[in-house]
Amino acid sequence: MSRPAELMRILLVEDSLADIELTLEALSGAKVANEVAVVRDGAAALEHLRDPATTRPDLLILDLNLPRMTGHEVLAAMRADPALKRIPVAVLTTSAAEADVVRTYDLGANCFLTKPVDVEQFIAVVQSIDDFWLGLVRLPP
């Protein structure tokens, strides 16, 4: 069964319930219809991505500070896996450390965003991720 062309799939990898709720709220107002799956740790993210019964997401929004497996480890595993390496990854994390920015790009992230503390700014950042990655960019099949 094929999906409508306008339906975009997002995998949100985030352990904070508050950030999950804010992200889902921001994505609910998107111009493009989104189907969002949420996993709360890095190991679960890879299990989800590698599950043959799961459809590949169009975009992964990844926190770095995760239980069981860090966002850096998830990103490294994805980029080493031919079936996962082309999935765009937007890192959205509390870190603003230059070392995290450099390491994240070295591992193949497509963008790095620091989570704003202000709720309205957080929602605006998530909406900008959605607008850019799922509205403007041409994604691989």
Look at residue 104 in the predicted model and tell me its pLDDT.
Answer: 97
What was the pLDDT predicted at 19?
94
Within its chain, how far is the Cα of 83 from the centroid? 17
Q: Could you tell me the residue ranges of all domains in the chain? A: 8-136
Flag whether pLDDT at 32 surpasses 70: no
Residue 100 sits at φ, ψ, to 5 deg, of: -70, -40
Per-residue pLDDT at 2 exceeds 50: no
3.10.129.10, 1.20.120.420, 3.40.710.10, 3.40.50.2300: CATH of 8-136: 3.40.50.2300
Confidence at residue 94, expressed as pLDDT on a 0 to 100 scale: 93
**What is the distance between the alpha carbons of residues 66 and 58, in angstroms, rounded to a whole number?**
21
Closest of 97, 110, 24 to residue 59, by C-alpha: 110
Q: Is the pLDDT of residue 78 over 50?
A: yes
Nearest to 30 by CA among 59, 64, 55, 54: 59
